[in-house]
Chains A and B, each alone.
Chain A
Amino acid sequence: MTLTNWLPALIVLSSLIPGLLIFALKEEQVTTRTVLNMFGATFKLVLVGIMVWGVLQNQVYESRWVLAPGLELILHADALSVLFVVLSSGLWFFTTIYAIGYLEGSPYRSRFFGFFSLCVSATVGIALAGNLITFVIFYEILTLATYPLIAHRGTPQATRGARIYLYYTMTGGALLLIGAVWLQVLAGPVDFVEGGVLDVLPTELSGQLILIFFLMLAGLGVKAALVPLHGWLPQAMVAPAPVSALLHAVAVVKAGAFGIVRIVYDVYGIEFAHSLGLLTALAILASITIIYGSVQALLQDELKKRLAYSTVSQVSYIALGAAIFGPVGTIGGLLHLIHQGIMKITLFFGAGNYAETLGVHKVSELNGVGQRMPWTTLAFTIGALGMIGIPPVAGFISKWYLGVGAATAGMDWVILVLAVSSLLNAAYFLPILYRAWFREPPAQWPKESIPAGTWETKWTLLMPPVITAALALALGLLATAPFSVLEWSRLIAIREYGL
């Protein structure tokens, strides 16, 4: 009964309990709700800080709970889980501030923030899951908690988007469940262990193991928006901007990508997956997704839809990193898990600010927006440049490692994919930046609801993107500093490859 047994559970509970309390609040109890929200977000960050510090000292944090004979709920902190926990609880903090500002005065906020907290609790559970069943449990809870958020606005489009999301994720979840159960039948309780656990199984099971991999990949690929399982993501952009941030950066697609990383490294083991030929298949799928997503993004005029397709493309860099055999590629994938999250959340905050402040929803309406909202546009610009992979923004570092990793692994065609994708990224982001900075603003904005005062918009809306943009820049500039994400990813890669 010490902190080492309780810390992982506490990190999950630190947002779960405030969330449940928020459900019970009345609509007009704004202050109580804000206090609960911010308390949960801050307390979680503190706990995560303690955990990071402990893991650096080689402290083992593990919470266990028996569900049924042979089924155990395990929350466990290893280097990989810490990476994801830091990302999601860090970004959640900013998203909460943003959401409080964004939803000010809108109806049903208690319900919204209740599910919002459930969502992040599930994500942290996914990150800390120490075995397959725990992962599956939190993965499903995440689906349930996200559905009402997508449907939140209650318009026919929102309900439709949520329904489509549900079709995809429920089917995917069921396939993942079957894969997980099947694997447990073959291998016993599947704990996540660095280097994988399946290479000890007899070779005649290889056929089944390959089938199971694709079953689970189908389940995870839905949330990670791998083509052709990505159909829900562009539909789900009808949700309010903080929810988009949650979907695209903090929780949902990240959970899928993280799951793929977990399965490849800590269940199958990178070398065993390589020997089964799974990595090539994954690399091809990821590459198709990267190119397809970028092409689609180019065709969208609606800003959030363009960003959504950009996510389809960018998240697959993480899967691609997992599919490149060799530590350098691994580092690239892990880095992108963090970098994509921070850059994409900046972009969605920016898009949300344009929509909320000026009523601007389309790329073609963005002319001159940089003059009216310089700070937001500056943050947006940094995010976009990072997505293209321009130094010194963080995105450059991850793409560099992916490219070098592919070259080392002898997968030269991946470099071509990266190059084409970067060109396409530039093709759909640079026109936005050009319009925003260099075109003349229109005489009147579509629906200007927040007048320009001291700041261009509410501070709760402005602060989060500015900070995350600064982070994206800092992660690029200070990549080699001690305790940086790069160093941490290196540590994970070393452990996974047993170097």
Chain B
Amino acid sequence: MIDTLALAVALPLLGAIGATLWPRRSLPLSLVAGLATTAAALALTVEVALDGVQRSDFGGWGAPLGIALQADGLSVALLAMSNLVTLAATFYSAEYFGDKAVRRHFWPLWMLLWASLNGLFIAADLFNIYVALELLGLAAVALAALTGTRDAVSASLRYLLASLLGAITYLLGVTLLYGAYGTLDLGLLADAITSGPVAWGALTLMIGGLLIKTALFPMHFWLPPAHGNAPAPVSAALSALVVKVSFYLILRLWFDLFGPIVTPAAANLLGILGAAAILWGSWQAVMAERLKLMAAYSTVAQIGYLFLFFPVIASLEPSPARDDLIGAMVLFALSHGFAKAALFLAAGHIQQCAGHDRIDDLAGTVQRLPATSFVIALAGVALIGLPLSGAFTAKWLLLSGAIAAGQWWWVLVVLAGTLLAAGYIFRMLGKVFGFQETPYACITAVRSEVPALLLATTATLVLGLAANPLWFLLGFGDLR
């Protein structure tokens, strides 16, 4: 049997090596490696759906010594989304970078980013997670700096510092655990861990480090400039996936590893930070003057929603209602992943055509770029959380959980966030769909519009109508 777990990491890594060795052939090599990687990830998803949790220990060495990979329902749900988004962005990048010199640097880094993303979703021990996290951070920072503008470089430096700080903090927590329990395997640790100062210290350090990388308010300071100045496909991957993978790790730690020792107070703190992120991020997005900056602030807000789930889930005993909420949280993450990637790809088209992305000067874009404008509208629906997007279903379940738990204050936050999101999305749509003469002429190839269109449709129609299997998939694994 082919080990799809290993392939999901090895294939993009091979692609990265190939693209480095043969820079002239970097594009076809990356496309082939990307297609194969996505195929492996989807195959893995199917395996989990059919046979349950998949695990693979390298070279016959089991835990606690060897490198172990493991995939459960949560891993593959995010892995599948991540690979589909990356694949779409890969095809988009083929057009976007074309023959520009920068593609020599882009493709190896891009494939490295892909490999570390996949590695993180299926890593089964805390040290491998650290290694992949560092790789991811370095690849992401380098990619964000690729435009080479002064703004991009200084933003990337900030990003680099935040990323390193997050990883080091996380590593400190890991060493605490290793000192106390002598293992780094997630499964073994989860069985051994007991409530106490060591566990609390490790929890705080590890989650804290990951929160910096996830850019939860007020640790989001690095995100808007970095995401707003990177090349479009890179912004898409950063906003849709890179912050999502550290969120995934938080879930893994919160519900899997530290499940028995997290307290409602800690969950409430995360909820409060999430609420602040929603309000602050959305408001900044409303005020943003540039399309990509608006999208970046929207990410800050959307990350906030994910953390709003924590206090509501914490108020519930293990029950179907709790599983429904966890599923809704994952659905929200998936929906945002697809929608935000689509939005950034569309923004990239606009920037290439217009030469800028100042929202006030985008009037009439629809006349030149109808498909792109349509993508923005569809992605916008998912970002506001209107039907038929995955975010709508997720929000319904979140509101339902909050009301049932008597935590009505989160309802007010969601209400305010939704209206603010409508504000920033329609401010832009009002311009884009205007009748004014557009100052720029641009014709894009139809095929370059397809990736973003597919992503936006997935967020707004597919996830809105056909999300039910997600709960079945999440049944495999032991989130508690």
Taking Cβ atoms with an 8 Å cutoff, the residues of A that contact B are 23, 65-71, 73, 108, 133, 136-138, 140-141, 144, 147-148, 151, 153-155, 159, 162-163, 166, 170-171, 174, 177-178, 181-182, 184-185
Contacts and interface: CB of A to CB of B under 8 A. Distances in A.
Contacts of A23: 374
Contact of A148 (B422, B433, B436): B433
A186 B434 CA distance: 44
A133 B396 contact: yes
B448 interface: no
Contacts of B327: 68-69
Instruction: Name the prevailing secondary structure of the B interface residues.
Output: helix
B36 interface: no
Contacts of B418: 170, 174
27 contacts: A66-B468, A67-B465, A67-B468, A68-B324, A68-B393, A68-B467, A69-B320, A69-B327, A70-B324, A71-B393, A133-B396, A136-B387, A137-B387, A138-B387, A141-B387, A147-B426, A148-B433, A151-B430, A162-B430, A166-B426, A170-B422, A171-B419, A177-B399, A181-B400, A184-B400, A185-B400, A185-B403
Contact of A181 (B323, B324, B328, B396): B396
A155 B418 CA distance: 27
Most chain A CB within 10 A, of B331, B386, B397, is at B386
Contacts of A70: 324, 397
B434 to A, nearest CB: 6
Given A67-B467, A141-B386, A181-B396, 16 more contacts: A23-B374, A67-B393, A68-B396, A68-B468, A69-B323, A108-B435, A137-B392, A148-B433, A154-B434, A154-B435, A170-B418, A171-B419, A174-B419, A177-B396, A182-B403, A184-B400
B102 to A, nearest CB: 35
Interface string B360-382: 00000000000000100000010
B65 interface: no
Nearest to B468: A66
Most chain B CB within 10 A, of A140, A154, A170, A177, is at A177
Contacts of A67: 393, 464-465, 467-468
Nearest to A107: B435
A148 B430 CA distance: 9
A229 to B, nearest CB: 16
Instruction: Name the prevailing secondary structure of the A interface residues.
Output: helix
B415 A65 contact: no
Contacts of B387: 136-138, 140-141
B112 to A, nearest CB: 36
B471 interface: yes
A159 B388 contact: no
Most chain B CB within 10 A, of A66, A68, A136, A154, is at A68
A168 B20 CA distance: 55
A140 B419 CA distance: 13
B293 to A, nearest CB: 22
B434 A69 contact: no
Contacts of A138: 387
Given A67-B393, A153-B435, A177-B399, A185 B404 contact: yes
B359 to A, nearest CB: 14
A108 B435 CA distance: 10
Given A67-B468, A69-B471, A174-B415, A163 B430 contact: yes
Contacts of B430: 151, 159, 162-163
B172 interface: no
Contacts of B467: 67-68
Contacts of A141: 386-388
Contacts of B188: none
Most chain A CB within 10 A, of B320, B387, B399, B471, is at B387
B411 interface: yes
Nearest to A137: B387
A181 to B, nearest CB: 4
A221 B357 CA distance: 38
Given A140-B387, A154-B434, A159-B434, A68 B328 contact: yes
Given A68-B328, A181-B400, A184-B400, A170 B419 contact: yes
Contacts of A177: 396, 399
Contacts of A71: 393, 396-397
Interface in B283-335: 320, 323-324, 327-328, 331
Nearest to B384: A170
B400 A140 contact: no
Most chain A CB within 10 A, of B396, B411, B430, is at B396
Given A69-B324, A71-B393, A174-B418, A144 B386 contact: yes
Nearest to B380: A144
Contacts of B331: 68
Interface in B389-403: 392-393, 396-397, 399-400, 403
A499 B172 CA distance: 74
Contacts of A133: 396
A370 B392 CA distance: 52
B400 A154 contact: no
B397 A68 contact: yes
Contacts of A170: 418-419, 422
Interface string B168-195: 0000000000000000000000000000
Most chain A CB within 10 A, of B323, B381, B399, is at B399
Contacts of A166: 422, 426
Counting from the closest, the 9 A-B pairs by CB-CB distance are A154-B435, A137-B387, A181-B399, A185-B403, A170-B422, A69-B324, A68-B393, A185-B404, A66-B468
Contacts of B396: 68, 71, 133, 177, 181
